């Protein structure tokens, strides 16, 4: 399916470049003429004079979103430009590259111009491309200041009239290169109903899905008439090309996975995992509070602050052994067991170096943990994960052996204990309506919720043993339903 590339300007006469791949349109025509409102599969490059709230430029991107056109910049990006805090938070992703790029500069301030993802000065092309990926707009002015290190002070989108005269010739070349890219001329033999991006990290040592599982997701998408493409963190600027995003990298709030989820949701894509699920599930302080308010059974939990080190464990209600958790730990990393008070204080010191709060929980020994997969507020799969050999967790990260994990088995949901399934469903529903893996223990007939994970593991030969290809198709069908019914994008709270 071909894509129409529309350049939108207040005055089309300002576009003096001869590029066959684009159609130049007056902003007033795009906003008012029915042929643009009815146009399918368009990409809108908004080069209006101003993006301020309720300006013509603002409404071009706003109506583009309403028409399911892909606007560059989006309204969300326009709002991001207004907040220095958001700008610096997002730019943290490439802080190391920023420091390296400007390490030899003697100035206290430096301005970089980025035109269609490229820079005039070749030594800054890489950092220019990285910034364009994070703050996607056709023309950008980025001001850096140096204090103890280089910081992004301002990012400002430019109109054509503000491009420096000396850069005009380069601008023409950059524009031709940009619009001649194969991705803008992409056609397919098969006409798919929707486009799905699956975010992966080829370098991640223990990703949420193995390569065989990822292929099965792609095969399931193809069978359901969905085009599937694997993308990486370098494809941030391409999100607007897709209808849905499925995240298959380990998620965290201070990680690019969260920014992908946030941008995808803001752009109107169906996304698993959605940003609020990452926020809620990634932090065990939030989870402990939600479980307590809902009166769901969980291990006795104490939230510790640094001042807690002045008190005795007994006065805090802590018994040994106990489990200490970094609030944003994932896949059991940042989770340790303290055997006595000395061990408790030593390990707590280490955890407080990374967080002002630490979770302490009663240690509950068991041969295995239940994992109940919940999708769209319904039980989806049921697994038992057994503890790693000679270890108290299902994964022994300190082991030098190749076998880090204990064995597992997968059951039909209806064969799992009803009390376990119901507790998992209630816990997941506290987080939202996405895709969750709820970990529980069943000890002496009592069920306790250990944690709720967004982005649950799906590996070939483990979670898919019962449902087989139906597991992968179930996830794809959920994404299709979210594309077709925007109300399913809401978090339900």
All structural domains of the chain with their residue ranges: 188-273, 300-362
The pLDDT assigned to 78 comes to: 86
pLDDT of residue 217: 97
**Residue 334, pLDDT score:** 67
Do the beta carbons of residue 448 and residue 440 sit within 8 Å? yes
Return the closest-CA partner of residue 441 out of 374, 384, 379: 384
Residue 229 to residue 196: CA distance in whole angstroms: 6
pLDDT at 85: 82
Measured over the CA atoms of residue 353, residue 359, residue 364 and residue 366, the dihedral's sign is: negative
Render pLDDT for 45-96 as a digit per residue (tens, 0 to 9).
Answer: 999 988 888 889 999 998 888 887 888 888 888 888 888 888 888 888 888 9
Going from the C-alpha of 177 to that of each of 20, 54, 182, 300, 364, the distances in angstroms are: 12, 32, 10, 60, 60
Q: Which pLDDT score, from 0 to 100, does residue 287 have?
A: 85
Task: Please report where in the chains the tokens 């599930």 appear, as a residue.
Answer: 281
Q: What is the pLDDT of residue 492?
A: 46
Let me know: does 285 contact 359? Beta carbons within 8 Å: yes
Residues of the chain whose pLDDT is less than 50? 1, 182-189, 492-493
pLDDT at 488: 60
pLDDT of residue 401: 56
In whole angstroms, give the CA distance from residue 222 to residue 305. Answer: 50
Residue 489 has what pLDDT? 55
Q: Is the pTM of this model over 0.75?
A: no
- d(C-alpha 214, C-alpha 252), whole Å: 20
Give the pLDDT confidence score for residue 1 in this predicted structure.
45
Mind listing the pLDDT tens digit for each residue in 39-53?
A: 887 889 999 988 888
Specify which residues 17 forms β-bridges with: none
Q: So what CATH class is 300-362?
A: alpha beta
Give dist(CA 346, CA 353) in Å, integer.
Answer: 12
CATH code for the part of the protein at 188-273: 3.40.50.20
pLDDT the model gives residue 419: 96
């Amino acid at each position: 399916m071909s894509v129409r590339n529309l350049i939108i300007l207040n005055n089309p006469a300002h576009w003096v470049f001869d590029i066959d791949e684009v159609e130049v349109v007056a902003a007033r025509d795009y906003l008012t003429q029915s042929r643009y409102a009815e146009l399918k599969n368009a990409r809108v490059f908004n080069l209006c004079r101003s993006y301020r709230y309720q300006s013509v430029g603002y409404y071009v991107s706003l109506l583009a979103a309403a028409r399911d056109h892909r606007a560059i910049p989006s309204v969300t990006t326009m709002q991001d430009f207004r907040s220095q805090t958001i700008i610096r938070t997002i730019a943290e992703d490439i802080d190391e590259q920023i420091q390296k790029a400007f390490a030899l500069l003697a100035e206290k301030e430096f301005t970089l111009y980025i035109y269609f993802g490229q820079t005039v000065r070749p030594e800054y092309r890489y950092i220019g491309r990285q910034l364009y990926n994070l703050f996607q707009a056709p023309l950008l002015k980025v001001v850096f200041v140096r204090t103890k290190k280089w910081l992004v002070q301002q990012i400002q989108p430019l109109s054509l009239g503000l491009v420096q005269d000396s850069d005009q010739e380069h601008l023409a070349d950059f524009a031709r290169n940009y619009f001649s890219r194969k991705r803008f001329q992409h056609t397919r033999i098969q006409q798919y109903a929707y486009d799905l991006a699956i975010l992966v990290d080829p370098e991640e040592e223990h990703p949420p899905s193995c390569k065989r599982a990822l292929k099965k997701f792609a095969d399931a998408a193809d069978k359901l008439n969905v085009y599937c493409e694997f993308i990486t963190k370098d494809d941030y600027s391409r999100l607007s090309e897709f209808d849905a995003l499925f995240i298959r990298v380990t998620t965290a709030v201070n990680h690019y996975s969260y920014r992908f989820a946030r941008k995808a949701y803001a752009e109107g894509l169906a996304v698993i995992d959605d940003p609020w699920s990452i926020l809620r599930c990634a932090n065990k302080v939030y989870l402990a509070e939600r479980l307590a308010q809902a009166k769901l059974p969980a291990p006795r939990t104490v939230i510790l602050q640094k001042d807690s080190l002045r008190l005795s464990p007994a006065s805090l209600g802590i018994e040994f052994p106990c489990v200490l958790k970094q609030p944003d730990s994932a896949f059991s990393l940042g989770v340790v067991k303290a055997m006595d008070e000395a061990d408790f204080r030593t390990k707590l010191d280490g955890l407080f170096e990374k967080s002002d709060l630490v979770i302490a929980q009663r240690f509950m020994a068991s041969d295995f943990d239940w994992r109940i997969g919940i999708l769209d507020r319904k039980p989806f799969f049921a697994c038992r994960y057994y503890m790693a050999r000679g270890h108290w967790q299902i994964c022994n990260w300190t082991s030098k052996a190749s076998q880090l994990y204990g064995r597992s088995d997968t059951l039909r949901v209806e064969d799992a204990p009803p009390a376990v399934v119901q507790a998992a469903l209630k816990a997941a529903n506290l987080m939202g309506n996405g895709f969750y893996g709820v970990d529980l223990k069943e000890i002496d007939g009592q069920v306790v919720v250990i944690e709720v994970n967004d982005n649950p593991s799906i590996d070939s030969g483990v979670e898919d043993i019962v449902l087989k290809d139906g597991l992968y198709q179930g996830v794809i069908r959920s994404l299709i339903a979210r594309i077709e019914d925007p109300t399913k994008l809401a978090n339900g709270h």
